[in-house]
Structure 1
Amino acid sequence: MSLRYAQTIPAFALLLLALIGILLLVLPTRELEKPPEYEYGIVLDAGSSHTSMYIYKWPADKQNGTGIVTQHDECDVKGPGISSYAGVPGGAAKSLEECLQKAVQSVPKARHSKTPLYLGATAGMRLLEKSDASESQRVLKEVGAKLKSYPFSFKGSAVLSGQEEGAYGWVTVNYLLENFAKYGFVGRWLNPGKGAIGALDLGGASTQITFQTDVKAESTDTSMSLTLYGQNYQLYTHSFLCYGQDQFLRRLLAHLIKTQGLSSGSVSHPCYPRNFTTSMILGKDVFSSSCTEEYKTKDIDLQKSVTLVGTGHPQNCLAAVQKLFSFDKCDFSKCSFDGIYQPAASGKFMAFSAFYFSSSYVNALTNISDPRRMKEASQRVCSMSITQMTAITKQPEKYMKNVCAIANFIQVLLTQGYGFNNSTLPMISFEKKAGGASVGWSLGYMLSLTSHLPKESVSVLKAIPSGPWSGLLIIFAALLLMALVQLVVVCRKARAKMELV
């Protein structure tokens, strides 16, 4: 081997080593390091009983058209839901100010103008829209004007359909549990997915059931298609208006008043603890909702108050709750209740929102957490006094008085309504959070909306690693420079020798 080639080999070896080192450092970093800049999004969840604000963020680089969204911050708006401000000009908008100011502080100032802001109203506003469309529009316009006054990119305030609320709740559950397949920045798998689970949501004015199905839908009103991470998901979803926790309790009261009458001035309530009494104003506490309209008779004085006397009777409570469902009419091959089509529910489910809180109260009172023993748990709760309940849970009477009714409602809804049985009930988990974040429709809403937001480019400089890795990158860059210099020197010496010859 000639001296010229012998001198060139170390230089090439050094050059190859430097190139390999730089590639090993830079390429994995593009996948493992978070881009330094995030995009942000704000969703106001305007529910029937309250409003919550959630701030989300995701890397500027999106994965397969859908941003990798995480919860950045949250805020609970003080006071009732925005639908409660019907007839109260300025009330709904003012209630949002404190949380919106928190958003101004939480989102980096440089990102304010690029941060989309949405308000989604659910069943409470759907009910108001149904009973007074003009007042519903006034409230939405009012809160829209308030949101526009903040330095974010306001995208609109809207009333979500029941289908949207159910589907986005399903997205949230499966996203937080990492059930969707996700890809890394250089095309590698971050998570191959685990298979989607169903979602059961119980709010104040409505309840939703959503699950993936291959069964051809017999009703378009219960079918929805979503595309996430390049995959299409066909869902069964339905929202039952007036079957939320608060509206169900109103309907139960209205049913008892209608069947017993008001001649004595008092009404027996089989779901209230024995000897527990309370008074309510008919027009304000019972018949102010369109959900109770069918129970209102012409002779009822809405200004009058009624005394409710608890009898704590498990069987009578269950019978009264069952009367609020209709299991007779069905024009399809299979129905849940009230004539609504539903294929058989199968696989795992997560039950959240009021499902979780109600089940946690029942579990605390009875130490029964097995869903297959829901009927037994309901009977135990209905036999307890209000004093026993408050002593065990340390919760006020206003919450405990309704535990028996809600326990029976959930039992009937899941077993007789949705068709869960002793084999499938254990597949339901009652949860408040998933993956450390709040469960509800807003994250799924934000996740879907990120597919439609502009994608910011990521510069080459963002691929350069930081911290201790940057030191190694500098060393390999120096080796590369040394190799190039050595090659130049060797080539010059070789050329000089050739000229001498």
Structure 2
Amino acid sequence: MRRVGAKAKQNRSVGLMKGNSGGKKKSYLAVLIPCVVIFFIFLLSQRPSEQKTGAPVRHHNFVKEREQAVLADTRERAIARGTEEGLIGKGKYRCAVVIDAGSTGSRIHAFKFEVEGEELTLLDSTFKAIEPGLSSFNEDPAQAGLSLVPLLDEAKAFVPAEIAGETTVELRATAGLRMLDPSEVQSILQEVHTVLQSYPFKVLDDAVSVMDGADEGVFMWVTSNYYLGNIGKPAEETASVIDLGGGSVQRAFALGEGQQVPATLEEDSVRTIAAGGRRYKVYVHSYLGYGLKAARMSFLKPYDSVEEGHPCMTRGYEGRYHYVDENVSVKSDDEVGASVEGCVAAIEWEMNLEEGCGVEGQCSFDGVWSGGGGGGSEHNYVSSYIVDIARDVGVIPRESTMSDVALGDFMKAAEKVCASDYSQVEQAYGHYLNNDTDLPFICMDVLYAYVLLKSGFKLSPDREFTVVKQFDYKGKKVEAAWSLGAAINTIGKHSVGEVIDHE
């Protein structure tokens, strides 16, 4: 990943106004008094205390002090009004628009930043989500582009018209599009590009793409640690992030200083990030096919053509499961019902927990190096579907946006859910995720969250971790999503001048 932060410092200047005297000099005192005042100021500036100690006489830079005062006053007035209009036109204020095109839906994030040299301060943001995701339009790509119109309208209303032409818009597709045929992906992205160009924002050459899963993980690490105020702190004081999407799951954390990385793995597993005056080596991996919706298909498929029911399905359910272009039959074992032990075994088998990664004792699952622990791996923030599951099965209150939980909380919830008949599940958990689409798989989902965190990412059963839907940032609720990291990256790579001049 490229350096996060502004690429070039903004040049600022402040014009000082000189006052004029409109009246005539009526006496010599009018001239004498200012001269006396100036003389005494001169004497005070030559204080013996400074000369005796050898300390240099400090001459104030009144222009710089005035500049700082004006900028501080501008910022204070802007914050007091609840807007940032006071920063427009002063080289201090930039916006960025990012569309997260996930496997189950598209989400837009628009941000307003104050720019201070290489530092970005988030002033405000907006968010809107729609369903379904772009991958569902593989047979009608034109509708993929049109589906984004409500999101872009939201961003257009948020970004001041005065700077819309210097505001970038980008769309980064994630796991859903990675699973489609390349020709289908190309058609969808072309339609998206056409729709983006119909708005006043700037569409750069690399603005529409299928994002690498590792980039998604790194951007999420930047976002979370930015909101937590950790950027600039030692690696051990930063947060690890685990982000469970529909098609993939990512983990990222900063390695400790001097921590050894297997030479054969460094290129794929470690990104160097410069932020907050520090350089971080961030371990990151994206497990494609292990997002919530994709993993369900992996867990269900082995039972598609067998007589016995699936151990993760609650008693009384029979139906089908569809994901991308695959369908499988699903039914429960009506004699036994769902089995926590049997469901966990089925999940663990498909996760390939025993597969080696080439580094003894440092493997996560599916043959992937875990990063080796240490550094910032101990303070875990878990987002996306795991938070939704936790809220909908009672692990945390439904209104909660951030809570500390333990692995045992998920197991207790699973034991309750999996012991229910499907009719009881419908009555007690009818609000679960997308209702009828997801409700049949509630037992499987809770246990997958448990196994993923405990056996996959080796989180300690004795240590709490944080599930987060939104961060509290400067008195506002902001979404826990990788999009902020992407916006910071884009602003860091492209100056205002480069954006404006882009054709």
1:268 to 299, 309, 314: 309
Is 1:229 the equivalent of 2:276? yes
Q: Are 2:430 and 2:439, in contact at CA under 8 Å, matched by a contact in 1?
A: no
* Equivalent position of 1:327 in the other structure: 353
Distance 2:36 2:415 in 1: 86
Is 1:360 the equivalent of 2:388? no
* Equivalent position of 1:438 in the other structure: 479
Which AA in structure 1 matches 2:407?
P
Displacement after TM superposition at 1:169 (Å): 0.5
Which AA in structure 1 matches 2:222?
V
Is 1:338 the equivalent of 2:366? yes
2:341 to 315, 322, 340: 315
* Equivalent position of 1:407 in the other structure: 446
Q: Are 1:47 and 1:122, in contact at CA under 8 Å, matched by a contact in 2?
A: yes
Displacement after TM superposition at 1:109 (Å): 1.5
Q: Are 2:102 and 2:176, in contact at CA under 8 Å, matched by a contact in 1?
A: yes
* Equivalent position of 1:203 in the other structure: 245
Q: Are 1:166 and 1:201, in contact at CA under 8 Å, matched by a contact in 2?
A: yes
Q: Deviations over 1:305-342 (max 9, x none)?
A: 66556622222111211121112221223211111111
Q: Are 1:166 and 1:239, in contact at CA under 8 Å, matched by a contact in 2?
A: yes
Displacement after TM superposition at 1:372 (Å): 3.8
Distance 2:354 2:283 in 1: 22
* Gap change, CA 1:407 and 1:111, over 3 Å in 2: same
Identity %: 25
Residue ranges of structure 1 left out of the alignment (5+ in a row): 182-190, 262-266, 290-301, 457-501
Distance 2:151 2:298 in 1: 33
* Equivalent position of 1:40 in the other structure: 95
Displacement after TM superposition at 1:21 (Å): 10
Question: Counting helix residues as a fraction of each chain, which structure ranks higher?
Answer: 1
* Equivalent position of 1:62 in the other structure: 116
Is 1:110 the equivalent of 2:150? no
SS in 1 for 2:178: helix
SS in 2 for 1:339: coil
Displacement after TM superposition at 1:232 (Å): 1.4
Is 1:450 the equivalent of 2:481? no
Q: Are 1:271 and 1:313, in contact at CA under 8 Å, matched by a contact in 2?
A: yes
Q: Are 1:329 and 1:339, in contact at CA under 8 Å, matched by a contact in 2?
A: yes
Displacement after TM superposition at 1:238 (Å): 0.3
Q: Are 1:178 and 1:194, in contact at CA under 8 Å, matched by a contact in 2?
A: no
* Gap change, CA 1:20 and 1:223, over 3 Å in 2: closer
* Equivalent position of 2:55 in the other structure: none
Q: Are 1:63 and 1:229, in contact at CA under 8 Å, matched by a contact in 2?
A: no
Displacement after TM superposition at 1:25 (Å): 7.0
Distance 1:254 1:230 in 2: 49
- Range 99-108 or range 169-178, more displaced: 99-108
Which AA in structure 1 matches 2:260?
K
Distance 2:341 2:419 in 1: 10
* Equivalent position of 1:75 in the other structure: 128
Displacement after TM superposition at 1:143 (Å): 0.7
Q: Deviations over 1:398-417 (max 9, x none)?
A: 24432211111111111111
Q: Are 2:135 and 2:324, in contact at CA under 8 Å, matched by a contact in 1?
A: no
- Range 158-167 or range 4-13, more displaced: 4-13
Q: Are 1:336 and 1:417, in contact at CA under 8 Å, matched by a contact in 2?
A: yes
**What TM-score comes out, normalization by structure 1 length?**
0.74
SS in 2 for 1:140: helix
Q: Which runs of 4+ in 1 moved over 6 A?
A: 3-7, 14-17, 19-25, 191-194, 365-368
Which AA in structure 2 matches 1:97?
V
* Equivalent position of 2:26 in the other structure: none
Distance 1:437 1:389 in 2: 32
Distance 2:142 2:71 in 1: 49
* Gap change, CA 1:40 and 1:315, over 3 Å in 2: same
* Gap change, CA 1:280 and 1:372, over 3 Å in 2: closer
Residue ranges of structure 2 left out of the alignment (5+ in a row): 1-28, 46-59, 76-85, 399-403, 498-503
Which AA in structure 2 matches 1:339?
G
* Gap change, CA 1:63 and 1:193, over 3 Å in 2: farther
Distance 2:386 2:199 in 1: 35
* Equivalent position of 2:105 in the other structure: 50
Is 1:163 the equivalent of 2:189? no
Distance 1:209 1:193 in 2: 15
SS in 2 for 1:273: coil
Which AA in structure 1 matches 2:319?
S
- Between Structure 1 and Structure 2, how many residues are aligned? 414
Q: Tell me how large the CA RMSD over aligned residues is.
A: 3.3
Displacement after TM superposition at 1:93 (Å): 0.7
Q: Deviations over 1:154-183 (max 9, x none)?
A: 1220111111000001111001111114xx
Which AA in structure 1 matches 2:200?
P
Is 1:143 the equivalent of 2:192? yes
1:157-306 equivalent positions in 2, closer than 5 A: 157-181=208-232, 195-214=237-256, 215-218=259-262, 219=265, 220-258=267-305, 260=306, 268-275=309-316, 277-280=317-320, 285=322, 288-289=325-326
* Gap change, CA 1:89 and 1:229, over 3 Å in 2: same
Distance 2:405 2:235 in 1: 29
Task: State the structure with more CA Rg.
Answer: 1
Distance 1:216 1:71 in 2: 39
Is 1:377 the equivalent of 2:413? yes
Displacement after TM superposition at 1:252 (Å): 1.6
SS in 1 for 2:365: coil
Distance 2:364 2:151 in 1: 39
Distance 1:422 1:306 in 2: 32
* Equivalent position of 1:293 in the other structure: none
Q: Are 1:365 and 1:389, in contact at CA under 8 Å, matched by a contact in 2?
A: no
Which AA in structure 2 matches 1:62?
E
Q: Deviations over 1:208-258 (max 9, x none)?
A: 110001322221221111122342110110010110001111222212225
Q: Are 2:244 and 2:386, in contact at CA under 8 Å, matched by a contact in 1?
A: yes
SS in 2 for 1:154: coil
Distance 1:442 1:89 in 2: 24
